[in-house]
Each structure stands twice: as structure tokens, then as C-alpha cells.
Amino acid sequence: MKNILLTSYFAGTIRQFKQFMANQSTEITNILFIDTASKVEEYTGYIDEAYKALLNLNYTIDTLDISNSDKIKSKNQIQNADTIFIAGGNTFYLLDKLKSQKLDKLLIDKINTGTPYIGESAGAIILSPDITYIQELDDASFAPNLNTYTGLGITDFSILPHYLDKPFENETSTIFNKYHDKLDLITLNNQETISISNDQLILN
């Protein structure tokens, strides 16, 4: 049973997040916040915005940077997480770090067995069957050891975040025009989310 919220920009979709959390069967107070994808980005203000928003909502936050943590610690944090939030940044770098520490299968198991998952931008894209399509938006050279662009395959569609939002108007338009007739491509602007619960998909 999947329990997923996908967003382009977490700080712009707090309303949907609050509704998503209110719909959980048990009250959740702890969130594992994984900010690895941001570590190769010049601008990371969205990380601070997301973190502060979660604090303002009175969540206890456990942080994890997979690129700067040993495999055992990363595995334990993910395994024990009540809710997992993977923030935005470079999708290729994020997927490389997950696969190199062999955390991809653990994450898949956690999500497929119902652990609430919030994926922001790169954190949403990695759920796709393949992430090749996002190269116009993210620089794949940050993951030189990533031999395949196969995603986690949790969704059968591919997310295109920041659609026509500044400063990504040109990149997202190019991706849409190139792939909309080749992939099941779902666009999200910075105020939209997709939630998945009991295999029901809702765009909000």
C-alpha cells in the first residue's frame, strides 16, 4: 500500500502536505529529512524553507545526508523512519548515492509497505521508471559512476516538476515537448502535488 506525496516545491504546497498528514491512520511526529540531492546545488534556499516549515508544524526532524554518512547509519535511519522526506536537488546525484550505498531497495520496500513518503522535485523524480528524461533540468555529470538511469520504479509515470515556473520555463518546456508522447509524463508546477494512497492518484 503506497502512501506518497509528490511536489515540485515543498514550501509552496504546505496546504496539501497538512492534508496528507491529517489523512494518516496514526499521528506522525517524526520525519526523516534527506537533503542529499541539494549537496551539489548552488542554490539551496528551498532546503531551509522546507526544514523551517516542518519545524513550524511541530515535527521532530531527523536529518540524513547519504553522501556524508556510512552505509549502516543510513540504512538504520531509513529502516526506522516513520515518515521519509527526500528534498530536491540533483536527481542523478541523489540516485547515485542511493544505489552506491545499496539503499534503493530498502527505500522501495519502505514505500511499498506504506511508510509515508514525501518527494520534492528530485525526490519525486527518482520514483519514476527511468530518469533519463530529466537531463535538460539536472546535470548528469554529478553522477559519473551512475551506470544506469533506471529509477526506483515505484510509479509507472514520470514527474516533470517546476513546469513553466521560473527559472525553469525553457528547460521544462523542452522536456515536455520531447517526451510527452513517449512517456506517461505528469507535470507539476510549484503549487501542485500528486498524492497516491491505496493506488488512487490525486492531483491537487
Residue by residue, DSSP assigns 77-108 as HHHT-SSEEE--S-HHHHHHHHHHTT-HHHHH
Catalytic, out of 69, 121, 128, 158: 121
134, 175 contact by CB (below 8 A): yes
Q: Is the bond preceding residue 116 a cis peptide, omega within 30 degrees?
A: no
Catalytic, out of 128, 158, 162, 195: 162
Measured between alpha carbons, how far apart are the two ends of the chain, in Å?
A: 20
- SS3 (DSSP) at 64: strand
180 is catalytic: no
Q: How far is it, in rounded angstroms, from Cα 71 to Cα 117? A: 20
State the amino acid at position 22 in one-letter form. A
Measured CA distances, 202 to 16, 20, 152 (Å): 11, 11, 20
Residues marked active site are found at: 121, 162
